[in-house]
Amino acid sequence: MTDLPGRRLLLVHAHPDDESINNGATMAKYAAEGVHVTLVTCTLGEEGEVIPPELAHLAADRDNALGAHRMGELAAAMRELGVEDHRFLGGPGCYRDSGMMGAPQNDRPESFWRADLDEAAAHLVEVIRAVRPQVLVTYDPDGGYGHPDHIQAHRVAMRAADLAAEPAFRRDLGDPHEIAKIYWNCVPLSVVEAGFARLRAAGREIPFPGIATAADVPGVLPDEEVTAAVDTTAHAAAKAAAMRAHATQIAVDGPFFALSNDLGQPLFPTEYYRLVRGWPGVSEGLESDLFAGVEA
């Protein structure tokens, strides 16, 4: 069917930088193991705020040149993670960043938030049927924290997973393929609390003006709802380097980072997931491998 490696992982994200923050170490780990890792990013992140003052002119309300710049940041991040297959949904610039929920940018016809769901999903079906991943990673229905592009990325990913498996749907896009396991990104509450305790304990050594709270972390779940913990300690440095590559969006300092709100957050070396479709590969406890129980 395909000349690709036996194990194949697909991640669907809203903006350049989301993949490195959420799954950077997981992507580096699987890429290093020879898994074919495919990243699909839905927008160029044109509406992001810019952290470095010398690049502030790129912002949407000035030169409106952030999208092209962030394509370069994403490419650099993928080099740090060892991921070669990264694509934009429908091609670069097909869908525009919708801005934060309630912003006037939500209503632009080209915004991802306004995209026709099945039309957007068809772009992803083509990728799914070509790459034939066993595992899909995306956001929960709230997109982790309610950003319209994250919510839409969730909807498109879940819809595309269904349509890709549907024999009657668009055979011009390839032969049907059913993804064996679907995971949503999450972080256990106890891990978030411990991370912020470390951050507070570091006190004045933190170079950020303030400290975020657990409520600022996307996808926080009660510990018992988390189903997989991928130990990615060996790839923490690659994750930090990938996050650093998104310099317009993220400031990394040691085990901490900040987004454009300047509030310090802990970097999580272990990445966590909730299995929402397919069967867990372990009979009890947390899975440590997203491919557990999957035939390559």
List residues forming the annotated binding site for Zn(2+). 15, 18, 150
Q: How far is the CB of 15 from Zn ion (least distance, A)?
A: 4
25 with 235: CB under 8 angstroms? yes
- Segment 173 to 232, residues that bind Zn ion, using CB under 5 A: none
CA-wise closest residue to 278 among 187, 161, 186: 161
Which C-beta is closer to Zn ion: that of 153 or that of 164?
Answer: 153
| Number of residues forming the site for Zn ion (CB under 5 A) | 3
Residue nearest to Zn ion (CB): 15
Q: List for the chain the helix, strand, coil content (%; round to 5).
A: 40, 20, 40
Binding mask 4-23 for Zn ion (x = CB under 5 A): ----------xx--x-----
27/173 with CB nearer Zn ion: 27
Q: Smallest gap, in angstroms, from Cβ of residue 178 to Zn ion?
A: 28
- Binding-site residues sit at 15, 18, 150
46 binds Zn ion (CB under 5 A): no
Q: Is 40 in the site for Zn ion (CB under 5 A)?
A: no
- Among all chains, which residue has been given the structure tokens 């799954």? 23
* Residue 199 C-beta: closest distance to Zn ion, Å: 22
Instruction: Decide if 134 contacts 8 (C-beta within 8 A).
Output: yes
Q: Is the dihedral of CA 219, 43, 147, 206 positive or negative?
A: positive
Alpha-carbon distances of 238 from 44, 218, 254, rounded to whole Å: 22, 21, 13
Interface with Zn ion by CB under 5 A: which residues? 14-15, 18
